[in-house]
A = this chain, B = another copy of it.
């Protein structure tokens, strides 16, 4: 701890003359893995580390793990100064305090993450939600750079989102705005993991794509043979990734599942276009990475269906930072945050 702090203090005097060489640290804290990296001002991930997340349910284990990862990165920074640290966590975050209020994927309820980690590291931190960090990365350094009105939709196992409107990231009363995966696209549709039915995520999220394929395979063994084979004959091991792969190779059952997901994504993105009037809708996440043609199909549908005034300048594009969006975005968000507060070089 003392070592890390000393290093930072030692480098501070240089900052006026070497402001271009200050690196920030970004951390993507998920339920299964933690990725942390040194990020330059222009958004390059210079050095990254990845670990399995320790200590399900015990946040103190994660604090210990994070502090070790941060100190390791500070050591790797060589002659660069290390500035602000940003964490994007798979959690609901209390605005202002940086406390986690709910994190089902980490097994935490309330935990003052920012406060505890600042105590251990002796360094100021920004804690935000992981999807919001990734969205911030795409906005400042990725596919949304230079735009003031954006809707970001990340289609992974679940579906997360974030909205930039007139140059401001929407937070809402509970600091949870942007939960676009839980937009109802089908009244009376399949049960979601949230309390609702027919959510976008319940049709087009990775878990829903896998589940729907499993249902269809059980009903149509012949048509499902290729997928089942990929899963070594175990229907429960069919994944969204397998569905994307086989659909792209022409498998009809997999294509049917993807078609349903595309219809839901078109419905959702049309709704987002009409509600927010973005200049760009940015699609990212594992399902999009696994089936890049989805972007053009969604764009085609939205262009046909959204209101003409909204469609005029609208583009639907793929996210450009890929899996690094969370780390780069958390680092960028911290840099901007502490720069505004005058606590750190921007």
- Contact yes or no, B278 A195, CB < 8 A: no
Which of A216-224, A307-315, A317-325, A330-338 lies at the binding interface? A307-315
> Hey, which chain B residues are within 8 Å of A178, CB to CB?
275
- Contact yes or no, B278 A172, CB < 8 A: yes
Q: Is A149 located at the chain interface by the 8 A CB criterion?
A: yes
Q: Mark A161-186, 1 if CB is under 8 A from B, else 0.
A: 10101101011111111111011111
Report Cα–Cα, A196/B307, bound state, in Å: 8
Q: Is A264 located at the chain interface by the 8 A CB criterion?
A: yes
Distance from A345 Cβ to chain B, minimum over Cβ atoms (Å): 28
- Contact yes or no, A165 B149, CB < 8 A: no
- Contact yes or no, B194 A307, CB < 8 A: yes
Which of A66-74, A114-122, A233-241, A266-274 lies at the binding interface? A266-274
Category for how many chain A residues contact B? 35 or more
Distance from A327 Cβ to chain B, minimum over Cβ atoms (Å): 25
Q: Identify which of B168, B174, B277 contacts A310 (C-beta below 8 A).
A: B174
Q: Identify which of B92, B268, B270, B308 contacts A309 (C-beta below 8 A).
A: B92
- In this complex, the member of A183, A197, A203, A272 whose beta carbon has the largest number of chain B beta carbons within 10 angstroms is A183
Q: Identify which of B174, B184, B308 contacts A277 (C-beta below 8 A).
A: B174
Q: Is A41 located at the chain interface by the 8 A CB criterion?
A: no
Q: Is A54 located at the chain interface by the 8 A CB criterion?
A: no
- Contact yes or no, B271 A182, CB < 8 A: yes
> Which A residues contact B (CB, under 8 angstroms)?
92, 101-102, 148-149, 161, 163, 165-166, 168, 170-180, 182-188, 194-198, 203, 263-264, 267-268, 270-272, 274-279, 304-310, 312-314
Given A172-B276, A182-B271, 9 other A-B residues pairs in contact with their CB atoms under 8 A: A165-B165, A166-B172, A174-B277, A174-B312, A176-B277, A182-B270, A183-B271, A184-B271, A185-B185
